[in-house]
């Protein structure tokens, strides 16, 4: 198995080469529902989770408001 890492200083795009496959370096990606980045910082992931929780809360809030007004 051949593993080789290259990083070009001109365009700052590095890649990992395993046999005949090249894996390009990316700034961040989503894996199993978690956003991972090159600095192993979870700030982006926390922002996304808070944003999704807020969306869900406000959708449920309006639904609950409709349900409670119908029962009174």
Per-residue pLDDT 10s for the chain (72 aa) are 444 455 554 455 567 778 888 888 778 888 888 878 777 778 888 888 899 999 999 888 877 776 666 665
3-state secondary structure of 6: strand
First and final CA of the chain: distance in angstroms?
70
Range of the domain at 62: 42-72
pLDDT value for 70: 66
Residue 72: inside a domain: yes
Q: What is the C-alpha to C-alpha distance for residues 47 and 42, in angstroms, rounded to an integer? A: 9
Residue 10: inside a domain: yes
In DSSP terms, 58 is beta-bridged to none
User: Do 72 and 46 lie in a common domain?
Assistant: yes
pLDDT value for 1: 47
The structure's pTM equals 0.49
Residue 71: inside a domain: yes
pLDDT value for 56: 92
Residue 37: inside a domain: no
Q: How many domains does the chain have?
A: 2
């Amino acid at each position: 198995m051949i593993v080789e890492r290259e990083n070009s200083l001109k365009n700052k795009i590095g890649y990992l080469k395993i046999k005949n496959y090249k894996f390009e370096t990316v700034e961040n990606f989503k894996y199993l529902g978690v956003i991972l980045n090159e600095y192993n910082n979870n700030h982006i992931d926390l922002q996304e989770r808070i944003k999704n929780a807020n969306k869900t809360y406000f959708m449920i809030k309006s639904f609950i408001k409709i349900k409670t007004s119908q029962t009174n």
